[in-house]
Every structure is written in C-alpha cells, then in structure tokens.
Structure 1
Amino acid sequence: MSEDDRIRWDATYSSRRGPAGEPTPPPAFAAHTDAFPVRGTALDLACGQGLGSVWLARRGLDVWGIDVSAIAIEQATELAARCGVASRCRFDVVDLDDGLPPGPPVDVIVCHRFRDSRLDDTVVKRLAPGGLLAICVLSEVGAAPGRFRAAPGELVSAFTELDVLAAGEGDGEAWLLARLPGPAVSGR
C-alpha cells in the first residue's frame, strides 16, 4: 500500500473518533451468527476500528485484528479494553500488500470491506480444518464497476475449495460465508 493510502486511512479513522455502540458482526453476517464458533482463534483482516474483532472476542474467540491504519488499531485496542475483552484481542498495524503475516491456522477469518485476490490462496491455507471464512466486499452488482469492486460471482469462484454456507450479491456488496472441509471446532 502506498504511503498516500496509509495517510488517507489514518485521516478517515481520525475523523471517526472511535466506534460508538455495541460491537456487532458485519451486517452481511448478522443473520448467520450461529455459524460462528464460540471458542477458538480468529483473524480479522483489515479490521478497522475493531467492531468485528471485539464481537468475536465477546463470543469467546481469541482474535488477532490487523489493519494498515495505526489510528484504527489504536481505536480497536481502546474498544477491546472498554468492552472487557482486551485479553482476547491483539491488534497490529500490517500492510496486507506485503501478504498475510505468518501465523498458525485459525478457526475463523473475517474480512470486511477489503479485497485483494492475491491473498485468496493464503487465506484458505490459513484456515484450520472446519474453519470459517466470512468475507464481505464492495461489488459491481448493483453498483458501477471499480478497481476495488468484486465482479459478479467472484467470491464464490475464488473460494471453490470451501463449502458455501451462504452467499449474496447486490446493492454494491458481495459476501460469502464458507467453511473449509474438515472437523469443526467444538462449541459451534
């Protein structure tokens, strides 16, 4: 990511002054919360202010949230402390243009409003057997094409090795909830 992009994201999060309200799952997955485990580990890619990370931690997962914006990471860390789950959350500044940082397999990967198809294989390899991928991105479906928008059917096509639990496209958004075959984490 260019330094200009990093500066732009820091400015965006600075203007938001931290998340307000209760941490919740990304809206695309609100009707599917029962698919998310209540224990295990999670990786939140481009976690922003940490709403999804803290929601997962409150469910009982140990979460590593990463984002390119140091301001967003500060806000996510403060949110985790305010919600009493700081011990379950780790937040780091990571530029995903450099690839997914190394680490052990995880039970859940959440990616909300970030898309880099170069990471697709690495994301799948990072899932533990039975692991859940929850990805929601901007889409060309119901919106104008753009550099950061998924083409129609792109998410389902990109993750064919996963079992699709639910998926959708429309109103400029595409999302996929899918599981890597294998034994599921207990507590689902």
Structure 2
Amino acid sequence: MAEADGVSWDGKYAGRTAGPPRLPEVFAPYADEVPTAGHALELACGFGQASVWLAERGLTVQAVDVSAVAIEQAQGLASSHGVGDRCTFSVADLDDGLTPGPPATMILCHRFRDPALYSPIRDRLAADGLLAISVLSEVGAEPGPFRARAGELRKAFAGLQPLAAGEGDGQAWLLARRSRR
C-alpha cells in the first residue's frame, strides 16, 4: 500500500476504540483448532482484538497493520489485558511483503487480500501450522479489485489440508493445516 493508504486507514481508525479480544466471527466455531503455544502471525491486525485473543490463548504474537493509529490501539489493548509481553505490533506495508520472523504455528489474515502474499504465507506456515484466512469475495457480491474470485483461496492453498471453508455473501474463508514435513 502506498503511504496514502496508511493515512487513509489512520483516518478510519481515528476516534474509534478496540472492542474486546476475540477471534473473528467466521473462525469462532473453530476456536478449539487454534494452537495454545507457539508463534502466531496476524496480518492486517487492525485494533489487535484477535492478536490479543491469541496471546491470551498462549501464543506469542507478531502482528502488523498499515495504520499507526490501529497499532497504537492494539498495543494498549494487549497491555490492558496483561499480554503486552506476548504481542509485538508494528506498522508494516504488506505491499513490501511479509515482515521477517520465525515459522508460524498459526497465521491469521482477516479481511485482507493480496494474492502476491499467498505463496509467502504458505511458506511461512510451520509444519502442522494453522492458517485462518478470510477475504472479500465476488461470490454473492459484485466483482471488484479487492474481491477474490470463486475458489481462489482453495486453489491458492491447495497444498494445505482444509479443515473448513466457505464462500458466499461476499466473503470467502479457509481454515487449513499444513502437513507435518
């Protein structure tokens, strides 16, 4: 994203506050699949509600977002829930690729889509790691540049073992596990 995107997202987050820690609604029914130890990476974390939820579950979390305003809120949320030492939040432009870090026991990407990152996401996932990804979709909605085509996530992550997936009402999502190597 261009610097202007960061400014735009800062404006969208300004004056709002983070809600309670939670897993995104689409993945909530599968909360028991989420690991309780290891390293998690959250892309486009926004206010950090999911990152804090993951840290409360026992994971060490690295989270990134293009908005400095959102990252500041996320840091405050983590501190107020006693997991500030388990979360590292940073401003990052995902157009530049994934930030460096160890293989991830879990990668969470909710409502952010960049097909150029699909391969690096897959490569960053540790053996037996869990991927939870949701994007806007053309299925049940108008086509657009930020919307996935039908079957895009299943195709992009075909090498992973799908646990659950869905497409409709303008959203596509996938919960999948990488096989042990």
TM-score for the superposition, normalised by structure 1: 0.94
Report what 1:117 is aligned to.
115
How many Å separate the matches in 1 of 2:21 and 2:168?
24
1:158 corresponds to which of 147, 156, 159: 156
**How far off its partner does 1:15 sit?**
3.3
Report what 1:103 is aligned to.
101
- Give the letter aligned to residue 53 of structure 2: W
- Give the letter aligned to residue 81 of structure 1: S
* Count of residues in correspondence between the two structures: 181
Q: Deviations over 1:4-27 (max 9, x none)?
A: 2111100001132x212x211011
Q: Which runs of 5+ in 1 are unaligned?
A: 184-188
Report what 1:73 is aligned to.
71
**How far off its partner does 1:36 sit?**
0.4
TM-score for the superposition, normalised by structure 2: 0.98
- Give the letter aligned to residue 78 of structure 1: G
Report what 1:142 is aligned to.
140
**How far off its partner does 1:127 sit?**
0.7
Q: Deviations over 1:164-186 (max 9, x none)?
A: 00000111111000001017xxx
Q: Deviations over 1:124-182 (max 9, x none)?
A: 11011000000011111111111101111110011011000000011111100000101
Identity %: 58
How many Å separate the matches in 2 of 1:3 and 1:86?
27
1:46 corresponds to which of 27, 44, 60: 44
Q: Does residue 1:171 correspond to 2:147, yes or no?
A: no
The alignment partner of 1:87 has SS state of: helix
**How far off its partner does 1:3 sit?**
2.1
Report what 1:6 is aligned to.
6
**How far off its partner does 1:104 sit?**
1.2
How many Å separate the matches in 2 of 1:26 and 1:113?
10
How many Å separate the matches in 2 of 1:98 and 1:61?
25
- Give the letter aligned to residue 30 of structure 1: A
How many Å separate the matches in 2 of 1:56 and 1:159?
22
- Give the letter aligned to residue 74 of structure 2: A
Q: Deviations over 1:10-61 (max 9, x none)?
A: 0001132x212x2110111010001101111100001010011001001000
Alpha-carbon RMSD: 0.9
Report what 1:56 is aligned to.
54
- Give the letter aligned to residue 99 of structure 1: G
Report what 1:186 is aligned to.
none
Report runs of 4+ in structure 1 exceeding 4 Å deviation.
Answer: none
The alignment partner of 2:163 has SS state of: strand
